[in-house]
Amino acid sequence: MIIRPSWLHFRESSRVWIEDRLRLKPLIDLLAKKLVPRHKYSFWYLFGGLALFFFIVQIVTGILLLLYYSPTPNTANESVRVIVNQVSFGWLVRSLHSWSANLMIATVILHLFSTYFMKAYRKPRELMWVSGVFLLFLVLGFGFTGYLLPWDTTAYFATQIGTEIPRSIPVLGEFIVRLLRGGEFIDEESLKRLFALHVVILPLITLAVVLFHLILNQVHGTSIPIGIRSLREPIPFFPNYLFRDAIAWIAALILLFGLCLIFPVQIGPKADPFASAPVGIKPEWYFLTLYQTLRIVPAAILGVNSETIVNVCVGIAGAFLLMTPMIDRKARMEQYSSGFTWIGVVAIFYVIIAISLAYLT
Amino acid sequence: MRDTLSQHANTFAGIPDIGTRITLFVVITFMLIVTILLVYFKMRESDDKKGI
């Protein structure tokens, strides 16, 4: 007779108890059915999971910050100071929120570029690509709307400049500025609007799009790049690939804690709307490409305002990103489209040069 | 509420010094590396079961 240790008996009876009530087996079978290919570029598959991980960190730390944050111009800066100075580990939670936001945007960009270069947007994954591009827009929206919330000098004036940019968009510009600011200037209304967008509207939309993206990922599986032959057997997503994802998540957590503990996020002095804007104010790194482009384009070209030109170009670039699966006809026919690869390479170089110039000048 | 917040905000306790933060980082990193090793062994066990 085999005598099983009590903890093994407890584990088995717990599993049966949960299975009897939740009926998770069909879901686990479905996850196990999805296979992840193994080839020389498989490493890049990890970035989608990492972006999801940082999004989860954002939700958890965001909820904790929400317990103390107060969204009015009189109390916003003080409440963030209370979080940093008075609440136990409040400084760490705020740093985790801020650094994981940066890492989330970076991993979403890396995931998007790797998907672009592997042509993973080709049939039947067009909608996965479109939802992914929407997720990039959404995470940039999180960055923009969260920036004003500490109500310090840099945040105030950077948001004032940032919300001014859409004004030159033909037809819709004025409407967008008033929609974001809740009036003509950055004041209590703007803070309330950006707060509502940051903690309710954008998270709900993002959760829905993430769910859609994940369902499509489960339905269509992981794409293999054109011309790449998988020499090894693909592995089941559950549990084998999930373990690899988990290792990447824990490694990302080490990086995140490292950044938070070595470079904790500070808070600047409370914003004074009547003071003049500080010299040399710059946006966050993910908006520096747009910022630098606005600086290098002449004030007017053929009588058209430079901001209008840049806004139209950004619109065209966004539309190109969204429409890539439909435009890239070669990839649709499982042929390698080097033209699109070169567009991606030029885009990467432009982003790197623009960010470097913005930091150096 | 505003007065209370201002009083609290100006009483600095805040971010610990770099020595404390590095100690915290070493402890957290050690725990997470141990967790990575445990997950890695579970992964190998699971791969072996599937013949991967």
Q: A72 in contact with B at a CB cutoff of 8 Å?
A: no
Burial (0-12, 13-18, 19+ Cβ within 10 Å), B28: middle
Boundaries of every domain in chain B = 16-52
Q: A87 in contact with B at a CB cutoff of 8 Å?
A: no
Contacts of B1 in chain A (CB under 8 A): 70, 75
Q: How close, in Å, is residue A10 to chain B by CA atoms?
A: 20
Look at residue A245 and tell me if it is in a domain: yes
Ramachandran class of A143: left when φ > 0, alpha when ψ lies in -120 to 50, beta otherwise: alpha
Question: In angstroms, rounded to a whole number, what is the distance separating the alpha carbons of residues A359 and A288?
Answer: 8
* Residue-number span of the structural domain to which A80 is assigned: 40-223+236-281
Residues of chain B with pLDDT > 70: what percent? Answer: 75
Task: Search chain A and give the residue with CA nearest B44.
Answer: A240
Residue A45 CB contacts under 8 Å (≥ 6 apart), including other chains: A36, A222
Task: Count structural domains, chain A.
Answer: 1
Closest CA to A265 of A71, A53, A90, A50: A90
Structure tokens given for A22: 């939740």
| Interchain proximity B28–A254, CB inside 8 Å | yes
Look at residue A342 and tell me if it is in a domain: no
| pLDDT value at B40 more than 70 | yes
Residue to test with chain A: of B3, B8, B42, most A Cβ within 10 A = B8
Other CB atoms closer than 10 Å to residue A11's CB: what's the count? Answer: 12
Question: In angstroms, rounded to a whole number, what is the distance separating the alpha carbons of residues A315 and A302?
Answer: 20
Contacts of A243 in chain B (CB under 8 A): 39-40, 42-43, 46
Place of tokens 């630098």: A292
| pLDDT value at B8 more than 70 | no
Domain CATH number, residue A169? 1.20.810.10
Question: In angstroms, rounded to a whole number, what is the distance separating the alpha carbons of residues A217 and A205?
Answer: 18
Q: What is the ipTM of this complex?
A: 0.85
Question: In angstroms, rounded to a whole number, what is the distance separating the alpha carbons of residues A6 and A19?
Answer: 20
What pLDDT does A77 receive? Answer: 97
What pLDDT does B26 receive? Answer: 98
**Prediction pTM value:** 0.91
What pLDDT does A106 receive? Answer: 98
Residue environment code for A320-334, b if the CB has 16+ CB neighbours within 10 A, otherwise e: ebbebbeebeebbee
Look at residue A142 and tell me if it is in a domain: yes
Confidence category of residue B6, pLDDT binned at 50, 70, 90 = low
Task: Search chain A and give the residue with CA nearest B46.
Answer: A240
Q: Within chain A, which residues score under 50 in pLDDT? A: none
What pLDDT does A1 receive? Answer: 55
Residue to test with chain B: of A85, A87, A237, A262, most B Cβ within 10 A = A85
Number of A to B CB contacts under 8 A, please give it: 85
What pLDDT does A241 receive? Answer: 95
Task: Search chain A and give the residue with CA nearest B2.
Answer: A75
Question: In angstroms, rounded to a whole number, what is the distance separating the alpha carbons of residues A74 and A77?
Answer: 7
Question: In angstroms, rounded to a whole number, what is the distance separating the alpha carbons of residues A125 and A205?
Answer: 21
Q: How close, in Å, is residue B27 to chain A by CA atoms?
A: 11
Question: In angstroms, rounded to a whole number, what is the distance separating the alpha carbons of residues A308 and A170?
Answer: 7
Option in B14, B24, B35 nearest A250 (CB): B35
Residue to test with chain A: of B11, B21, B37, B42, most A Cβ within 10 A = B21
